[in-house]
């Protein structure tokens, strides 16, 4: 939260409207979540809020591209870049794949019917560091 405040001040001074807008939106979402739970958010809860913000923008980006709205798509991509600076470093596909393979081996999963069992073990390990749909695709790939 302190980092957001400092970045907001510097964005104000530098007159960076896009960055300022994203930071204000994120601060607002964090504050709303804090009010909803009735206390200050811990780090995991704050990361969940940031992930939700990122997912909303990715969904919007997909829809804008599908509708041929390159102007809005470009704007949303810029927001995602700004937002990514506040999220934990994302795992590479290779790192996710290694985790998926290890969990499949540890759980003895062998078919797509074991998908839920594998996902329930993998997701807590990659929470905030990997996109759920990417994890899902890798689990399906290795269970087929």
Q: Which residues contact 25 (CB under 8 A, 6 or more apart)?
A: 53
Q: Which fold has domain 93-143?
A: Arc Repressor Mutant, subunit A (1.10.10)
C-beta separation of 74 from 38 below 8 A: no
CATH number of 2-84: 1.10.1510.10
b/e for 44-57, b at 16 or more Cβ within 10 A?
eebbebbbebbeeb
Each domain of the chain, given as residue ranges in start order, spans 2-84, 93-143
pLDDT of amino acid 142? 86
Q: Which ranges in the chain belong to alpha helices (H)?
A: 2-14, 17-37, 43-66, 70-84, 93-107, 115-126, 132-143
CA 112 to CA 102: how far, in whole Å?
16
pTM: 0.74
> Within 13 A of 9's CA, how many CA atoms are on the CB side?
5
- Which tens digits make up the pLDDT trace of 68-112? 999 999 999 999 999 989 888 888 899 999 999 899 888 888 888
- Which tens digits make up the pLDDT trace of 135-144? 899 988 888 7
Residue 108's SS3 state is coil
Angle of helix 115-126 relative to helix 132-143, nearest 10 degrees?
A: 140
């Amino acid at each position: 939260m302190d980092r957001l405040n400092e970045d907001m001040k510097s964005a104000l001074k530098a007159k960076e409207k896009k960055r300022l807008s994203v930071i204000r939106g994120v601060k607002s979402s964090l504050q709303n979540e804090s009010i909803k739970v009735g206390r200050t958010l811990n780090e995991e809860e704050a990361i969940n809020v940031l992930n939700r913000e990122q997912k909303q923008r990715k969904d919007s980006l997909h829809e804008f591209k599908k509708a041929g709205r390159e102007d809005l798509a470009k704007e949303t991509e810029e927001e995602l870049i700004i937002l990514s600076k506040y999220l934990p470093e994302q795992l590479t596909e290779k790192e996710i794949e290694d985790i998926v393979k290890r969990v499949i081996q540890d759980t003895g999963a062998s078919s797509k019917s074991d998908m839920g069992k594998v996902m329930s073990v993998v997701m807590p390990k990659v929470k905030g560091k990997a996109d759920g749909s990417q994890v899902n695709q890798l689990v399906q790939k290795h269970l087929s």
